[in-house]
Structure 1
């Protein structure tokens, strides 16, 4: 074997019913220089499949009783965790190895530029270090808008941790923590960073909450009347409509935010009212979870309705 070739054997010895793989060498990590040749070999009594950041730079030799991944020119983009899993046996196991291709010009291998989670979930920002020796100099910062440099510190309430294998994890992400982040590391006295955008989506429990006022209405022709259709939701992405019969009314919308909820209000002012304004009015609001609707009846009369005492 030439000096430029690094051979890693993942020896997975499996007997039916055992399902406990063995990795050789025993170390869970391999660190190589850029340009090195690397072979990852998985030995098993059954067929296996590979999972990980497998790009076109890898070649696969699936010949039994082994399966080998080989690259003749390792780069920082090959940094990541590789898993070999046995197929066809419900008790079959798997073996993993984490490969570092240390490149101080490119200390970060970012697996995805954008991550989306629901509020309350852990958010993993997949910035992988290419050299484990740099782990002591990493930090997470907010990326300034319209800037090419990381700027502000993360929010005070942000709870995060770091793993060289997986990157930064923001625990129980909050909606306000949906930001552009910079994964930074100190390399030979200089700061090197890569960016990841985090989107945190609100957990929407159901359709928007509706209010239609008044619940019933009678007016004499020529008087003034007002009908207010209001909807609130935890997320801004919802729509509200007011219909008279089957006709959707064109009304300017007012928006507000208070008590951690978004509010959208449609106000219909009628002055003076006519018989054509009478009918069934329906307030509707819709979001990704569904639609709520509530209705009221507006009557227009020529003369005041008789007093119940005189009826």
Structure 2
């Protein structure tokens, strides 16, 4: 298993996801921009906007290399200078507030034969939490994980609960999902090839999972108040990505391409002063469920 083979397979996953999302949307299509990184490598940024379902979405592929900044070396606890990183990153912001935001990232990082790992995850950020949708989403993630290791889902869900947490708001970004980092054979019962297969299985599950959630909700009527709430929740999404998200920080610290890094931000968001939903409302119910440690499969 070579880094070039990993990058090539990730490219094919990007192609499949873009094709699937265009079919799901039925109107919008991706615009591609090829880019080169000054320090080495490059990628393909693909953006879809103003579709029938997707208001703004991005499916990025990158394979970059070069000198690792001192700040990143210190954070990783390594002395090596040259790195290679490749992956696919996705964020979809739907127009209908009853369709959830979804994010996925699968990636590989390498310094040398001894220092390398896989990372990634997928999480869901509903503007309005639906318990059946949450159970479906987490059930599908468990199914993918169980195909490789029965410990993956409970372990990676717990990590996602901790990671996708807006500390200054004391609320989770959404209903979580799974998240893993620095995954190696030493930390699992799997070989390098099997960990890579798990990474790809997660990538290939993206379209079927999201298509089901979209088709359950895309025809639901909504009001201006629903849109206002959607924009407030998008504001929370922005806060997390700009303050806490490790991928955003890595991209900025390694001289990444700004448009690709910030493609995760929604087209419209709001920050109303001291906004509080009405007691007993659907909005209040959603806020009450933005907590760590919820077992979505048993609700």
- Please indicate the TM-score interval, normalised by the length of the shorter structure: under 0.3
TM-score, length of structure 1 as denominator length: 0.23
TM-score, length of structure 2 as denominator length: 0.24
**Larger relative contact order, structure 1 or 2 (CA cutoff 8 Å, min sep 6):** 2
Q: Which structure features the higher share of helix residues?
A: 2
Q: Which structure features the higher share of strand residues?
A: 1
